[in-house]
Chain A
Amino acid sequence: VSVLCNSKLVARQAARDRRVDLLCFPNASLHKHYFDWAEAELASNSSAAFEIDMAPILGVESFARAAVLSRLRRDVVVAKEYKVPVVVSSGASDPWFLRKPEDYASLAFLFGMDSSLALESLSRIPTSIVERNREKLRPGFVTTGLRILEEKKRV
């Protein structure tokens, strides 16, 4: 479940909700950006991940790109501090904006993510989200960490 956090109310509610897997923040100005330390604290408690969309980095230039990079650099620092998992996604609406995972990891260098962390954000963390959701769909699932293994037959 991914939530587009385009208002503070939506962002806070999504970060509290344990059903939410991804918090997606649209490419808004710095004043209308809701991923701050309070949001990160809520997200780290509910195990929601912060999604970084790479399309704006490729799609814009000059001051607009500088603003996007500046915002992402700050977001990555906040996410690291509160141990919020980060997911890097292409966000591409054009096939020419698609890159290899290694190339996305190289682009992540622009906003202060090291290569190993970027590759984790591209592969291991999204895989763990999918696995967690598959686990929820299995029969016998009650809640995170609690599953019915065997039911005793009534005589």
Chain B
Amino acid sequence: LTRHIRRRYLALKVDGQDQSFDPEAVSDSIWNSVLRLFGEVGVSQAGLYLIRFDENKSYVVLRCSHRALPMVKAAIASVTKIGERPAAIYVLRVSGTLKTLVRKVSDH
């Protein structure tokens, strides 16, 4: 029997000089950051998936493997550019379910 894969959901805030971001560019910057820091094996273990992207408020919900959470958080903190523009991505909340994450962020 295969064990159930535990996941973590991260609420992120994207901040940059221009407030509008392309979801693909944000996703690429996170993927590239994980790739640069931890290599191809790291990316394969991270199990990254962009769940939601609010273009107006620049909020992102990202899913990753719970084992790779420290790696993913470090990679997100090390993002300094999205595309060619300087930017920063902050982790707002981390949760085990999407429902709890939404509740925590709305409480925040």
Q: Mark A residues whose CB is within 8 Å of B.
A: 57-59, 61-62, 94, 96-100, 102-104, 106-107, 109-110, 115
Q: Is the CB of B80 within 8 A of A106?
A: no
Q: Is the CB of B73 within 8 A of A103?
A: yes
Provide the residues of chain B in CB contact with A57, threshold 8 Å.
78
Chain A residues near B80 (CB-CB < 8 A) = 58-59, 96-97
Within 8 A of A (CB), among B61-99: 70-71, 73-74, 76-78, 80, 86-88, 90-91
Interface pair B77/A106, CB less than 8 Å apart: yes
Contact present for A109 and B88 (CB under 8 Å): no
B104: Cβ under 8 A from any A Cβ: no
Do A102 and B78 have beta carbons less than 8 Å apart?
Answer: no
Distance in angstroms between the alpha carbons of A96 and B76 in the assembled complex: 13
Q: Which residue of A lies closest to B17 (CB)?
A: A96
Collect the chain A residues with CB atoms within 8 Å of residue B76's CB: 103, 106
User: How many residues of B are in contact with the other chain, CB < 8 A?
Assistant: 16
B88 adjacent to A110 (CB under 8 Å)? no
Contact in complex: A109, B36 (CB < 8 Å): no
Residues A99 and B37 in contact in the complex (CB < 8 Å), given A107-B74, A107-B78 = no
Distance (whole angstroms) from the CB of A41 to the closest CB of chain B? 31
| Known A62-B36, A110-B37: A104·B77 in contact at CB below 8 Å | yes
- Could you list 14 A-B pairs, sorted by A, with CB under 8 Å? A57-B78, A58-B80, A59-B80, A62-B36, A96-B87, A96-B88, A100-B90, A100-B91, A103-B76, A103-B91, A106-B74, A106-B91, A109-B70, A109-B71
Q: Is the interface of A mostly helix, strand, loop or mixed?
A: helix
Contacts of A109 in B (CB 8 A): 70-71, 73-74
> In the complex, how many angstroms separate the beta carbon of B64 from the nearest chain A beta carbon?
13
Query: Chain B interface (Cβ within 8 Å of chain A)?
Result: 16, 36-37, 70-71, 73-74, 76-78, 80, 86-88, 90-91
- Complexed CA–CA distance, A65 and B40 (Å): 17
Nearest to B72 among chain A residues (CB) is A106
- Report how far A62 CA is from B80 CA in the complex, Å: 14
- The residue among B78, B90, B91 with the most chain A CB atoms within 10 A of its own CB is B78
> Beyond A106-B70, A106-B91, A109-B70, is A99–B77 a contact (Cβ under 8 Å)?
yes
Residue of A nearest to B80 (CB): A58
Residues of chain A within 8 A (CB-CB) of B77 are 99, 103-104, 106-107
Q: Which residue of B lies closest to A111 (CB)?
A: B74
- Tell me the minimal C-beta distance from A58 to chain B in angstroms: 5
Q: How far is the CB of B89 from chain A (nearest CB, A)?
A: 9
